[in-house]
A and B are shown apart, each in its own frame.
Chain A
């Protein structure tokens, strides 16, 4: 990891989410009113606007909905990482999220492959949810 990369700017909406990641849990919000499961974390349900949201740990499993291997770093801080593969993961619970793959040769990556979460601690109390192949 190179220094100076963007760290998540945590706020009231997302504090529980990042705390979950720091202890090894990927939390999704479940709406008590309409049953909607949402990602990302909000103070209200994106479907019914209800405020009765409950954090529940996700399975951490999903499939690759799409991917792109980045060869040109977005900023100098990412220079040592290229090539890295950005994935759009469809979680088993439904929502999708952006992440990167660890330990996968770019030419072997394909849509539909099973992945599972790994927690990458990048700063004290900050872990990024990354994924590795699970097929």
Chain B
């Protein structure tokens, strides 16, 4: 099979401060994360010939990737603003790798930043999300994007006996992880009881089952594996990737408890020549607690319907079988909107470089990142490794 497996590497990562960071623009979060990622890689900005980013909910630029390039004072020859909602994170990395492998660019920055917390009120943020629903068949019924995910969790609970306590455990575990990652948005200890007692939002989800609303940005620098070997950081190779786009509307989904993640991860595993049992650590898009449980199943870490007991047994905790979201994820580290999924990729790169101080998974050689959006409308998986071949 023709692929870019092992041909492209992440050679630098950058993260701005996250949480409540008032006064900064969406462009700044993109640019500052990029500046930090280039410094990490030891690459001068003039060597960047490609840039990908995602749209901002706050800044109305029609060509966000071009606006970010201008802010940085660069004139790339490959540029795009990727928007497959939450799946954009892993999908952008794959697109950058494909462009590098195809010779369209040599060094590509993949960045994303937004200020959902400080730049727009919580009400406006939620309103922007409802306006993303279909104006005829969904929005008139007061359908939050959160409700689309809640419908999947409710059905998962009915089909497989998943409990609210099991959902809550995901939030509790990732909060513990966030307490080990400097600068996380939320670090107060959390109990299952706290999650159950938090305000109901859209059942079965309560406030603490839901991702945060934050400010922040993240960036990655990608280049050829050949060039990566001469740079200062240990290269993190892209070994596999897959995407899946199954439907736009939740009511058109064939199943709402088995998702396109099964397809996207299947393609990624095939490209990398590995299986779920080979993965040492994973970053899973955690817009809601139940989302993680369903993804553990569809990514193959446990059997269908066993995600709840798998979490309850402690398998996703640091030291467990497959530690998830060691930075705290969007439930506790940060969720500035589309940048949310990019922090998972930064964290997996740090894990593979052995630089996840205080939360390092010993001997991590293979990591998986999964991004998703729109009530599982979009799914993208990437597999990263310390060596160019798994």
Interface of A with B (CB < 8 Å)?
A: 5-10, 14, 18, 39-40, 65-76, 78, 81, 83-84, 86, 88, 95-100, 106, 110-111, 122, 128
Contacts and interface: CB of A to CB of B under 8 A. Distances in A.
B123 A71 contact: no
Interface of B: 123, 126-127, 129-131, 134-144, 147, 150-152, 154-155, 158, 199-205, 249-252, 256
A100 B201 contact: no
Given A111-B155, A128-B141, A71 B202 contact: yes
B55 to A, nearest CB: 20
A25 to B, nearest CB: 17
B251 A88 contact: yes
A96 B251 contact: yes
Interface centre among B126, B127, B137 (most CB of A within 10 A): B137
7 nearest interchain CB pairs?
A68-B150, A74-B130, A8-B136, A66-B155, A66-B151, A71-B200, A6-B139
Interface centre among A69, A78, A122 (most CB of B within 10 A): A69
Contacts of A7: 140
Given A72-B144, A75-B123, A76-B123, A9 B154 contact: no
Given A71-B202, A111-B158, A5 B151 contact: no
A114 B147 CA distance: 21
Given A40-B137, A100-B141, A106-B203, 10 more contacts: A6-B135, A7-B140, A14-B136, A40-B136, A66-B256, A68-B202, A69-B200, A88-B256, A96-B252, A97-B137
B154 A68 contact: yes
A30 B151 CA distance: 27
Contacts of A40: 134, 136-137, 249, 252
A128 B136 CA distance: 10
A71 B151 contact: no
B141 A98 contact: yes
Given A65-B155, A98-B250, A70 B144 contact: yes
A18 B158 CA distance: 33
A122 B252 CA distance: 25
A75 B199 CA distance: 17
Contact of B127 (A14, A39, A74, A86): A74
A74 B127 CA distance: 6
Contacts of B130: 6, 74-75
Contact of B135 (A9, A65, A72): A9
22 contacts: A6-B130, A6-B139, A9-B136, A40-B136, A65-B256, A66-B152, A68-B150, A69-B200, A70-B144, A70-B202, A71-B199, A74-B126, A75-B123, A75-B126, A86-B151, A88-B250, A88-B256, A96-B252, A99-B141, A110-B158, A111-B154, A128-B140
